[in-house]
Amino acid sequence: MDEPTILDAQELEINMGPQHPATHGVLRVKLKLDGERVLDADCVIGYLHRGVEKISENRTYTKCLPYYDRTDYIAAVSNALGYVLGVEKLMEIEVPERAVTVRIMMTEFNRIASHLLWLATHALDIGALTVFLYCFREREEILKLFENLFGARLTTHAFRIGGLWMDLPPGFEEAARKFIDEFPARVDEYEQLLTNNRIWIDRTKGIGVISGEEAIDYGLSGPPLRGSGVPYDLRRSRPYGGYDQYEFDVPVGLNGDTYDRYLIRMEEMRQSRRIIQQTLDRLPGGPIRGKVPRIIKPPVGEYYSGIEGPRGELGYYIVSDGSAFPFRVRIRPPTFINLQALKRLVKGHLVADVIAIIGTLDVVLGEIDR
């Protein structure tokens, strides 16, 4: 984009957020504008900092878990999965097959719910009001499933170390099947409203372009990385929690722009549905929890458990000193790292594009600030 010259107007510095309708929480972006063109952007984060990692050091391994629900509150189930997998690895606990299958099913439901919320808000930011409510209609169904199984809609406290808290309630499988039967038509409906819409294409094509190499340099993961053509999905490249037994495709983009990232997330919803279909078809019987000692005291050691969350690579680096409390839990939040690229992506674009780019990075401030 053009460099400013001496003839250009004085820079206008505006604050986007932390109270702004489109910064998805309490993100604050300091924008330097020339007219409507963005010369520079700086992110200010930390408005939602609660010290989750530090709190974890003073809780037992089981009591840490609810705190992680509240980091990325849109993907609480995924968060739980990453942590329990790590602790189970440290303690070498065998998880029964039924629990493994249900975990994958619920995590994929969560991925759909998360992507739906992303699509809803992304579309709303770009001005498509109706998509917002359509997405919430389907998300509501998933949240009802969550409520049925976990007893909560958002902060689910989904899994337990060694398995599940409870078995599937009666009627759950039918409800899940009903949802996945209806879902493809719904995704088509959203696509009908957006994918070939002239305005939508104008607003998203060529916006926030980043090449594959650069995306890797920035440490991006999840859809922002795959949108640039790097087929890196932890479910495929470093399978965890039984994902190697499922069939699904990893969609990648070509141009690395906002439109490609949109298409990828749409396709991921379809693929998640495919995985759920497979889990429902094979759902084995048997126990839901493995043999777990009453007090969880992992042996001295450390383990990094990385999973593919809806937003990218979600990691828990757990260090145990042999006591009942973790010595340190470091969370690698995907959007904290993805957000680094914001400054690079928005430079030279217009104010309206900043909104589209924040939307396409799919940030959750609870996770960024922790």
Partner 1 sequence: MMETLLIYAVIPLIKIAVVVLAVLLAVAYLTWLERKLLGRIQVRLGPMRVGWHGLLQPIAVGLKFVIKEDIIPARADRLVFSLAPMVSFIPALVVFSVIPFGPPDMLSGLLRWVLPLFLDPASVNRVIESGVTTGGYVANVNIAILLVFSVSSVGILGIILGGWASNSKYPLLGALRSSAQMVSYEVSLGFTILSVLLVAQTLSLVDIVQKQQAAGVWYVFVQPVAFVLFFICGLAETNRLPFDLPEAESELVGGYHTEYSGFRFAIYFLAEYAGMITISSIAVTLFWGGWLRPFPNVAWLGFLDLVPSVVWFMAKVFVFLYIFIWVRGTLPRFRFDQLMQYGWKIFLPLAIANLVVTAAVMLKFS
Binding partner 1 (rule: CB under 8 A), the pick from 94, 173, 202, 244 is 202
Binding partner 1 (rule: CB under 8 A), the pick from 4, 8, 12, 293 is 12
3-state secondary structure of 11: coil
How many residues sit close enough to partner 1 to count as binding (CB under 8 A)? 31
Looking only at the bridges linking them, the beta strands covering 12-16 and 28-34 are antiparallel
Residue placing its CB nearer to partner 1 in the complex, 209 or 319:
209
Cα–Cα distances in angstroms (integers) from residue 292 to residues 92, 94, 325, 328, 343, in the given order = 10, 9, 16, 22, 46
Binding partner 1 (rule: CB under 8 A), the pick from 76, 90, 123, 314 is 123
Residue placing its CB nearer to partner 1 in the complex, 181 or 202:
202
3-state secondary structure of 219: coil
Shortest Cβ distance from residue 146 to partner 1 (Å)? Answer: 21
Is residue 125 part of the contact set for partner 1 (CB under 8 A)?
yes
Residue placing its CB nearer to partner 1 in the complex, 81 or 194:
194
Locate 67 and state its tokens: 């705190």
Binding partner 1 (rule: CB under 8 A), the pick from 104, 126, 164, 264 is 126
Is residue 318 part of the contact set for partner 1 (CB under 8 A)?
no
Please give the backbone phi and psi of residue 316, each rounded to the nearest 5 degrees, phi first. Answer: -120, 120
Residue placing its CB nearer to partner 1 in the complex, 69 or 353:
353
Distance of alpha carbon 162 from alpha carbon 65, whole angstroms: 13
Is residue 19 a contact partner of residue 365, using CB atoms and an 8 Å limit? no
Shortest Cβ distance from residue 356 to partner 1 (Å)? Answer: 9
Is residue 116 part of the contact set for partner 1 (CB under 8 A)?
no
Q: What is the CA radius of gyration of the chain?
A: 21
Is residue 299 a contact partner of residue 28, using CB atoms and an 8 Å limit? no
Distance of alpha carbon 193 from alpha carbon 211, whole angstroms: 28
Distance of alpha carbon 123 from alpha carbon 315, whole angstroms: 29
Distance of alpha carbon 70 from alpha carbon 87, whole angstroms: 19
Is residue 300 part of the contact set for partner 1 (CB under 8 A)?
no
Is residue 9 part of the contact set for partner 1 (CB under 8 A)?
no
Is residue 124 part of the contact set for partner 1 (CB under 8 A)?
yes
Please state, as a whole number, how many other Cβ atoms lie within 10 Å of the Cβ of residue 38: 23
Q: Which stretch binds partner 1 (CB under 8 A): 196-204, 241-249, 262-270, 305-313?
A: 196-204
Shortest Cβ distance from residue 10 to partner 1 (Å)? Answer: 12
Shortest Cβ distance from residue 19 to partner 1 (Å)? Answer: 9
Binding partner 1 (rule: CB under 8 A), the pick from 21, 170, 171, 286 is 21
Dmax of the chain from CA atoms?
74
Is residue 247 a contact partner of residue 271, using CB atoms and an 8 Å limit? no
Q: Which stretch binds partner 1 (CB under 8 A): 16-24, 52-60, 104-112, 217-225?
A: 16-24
Which one-letter DSSP state was computed for residue 75?
G
Binding site for partner 1 (CB under 8 A): 12, 14, 20-22, 36, 123-130, 132-134, 137, 193-194, 197, 199-200, 202-203, 350-355
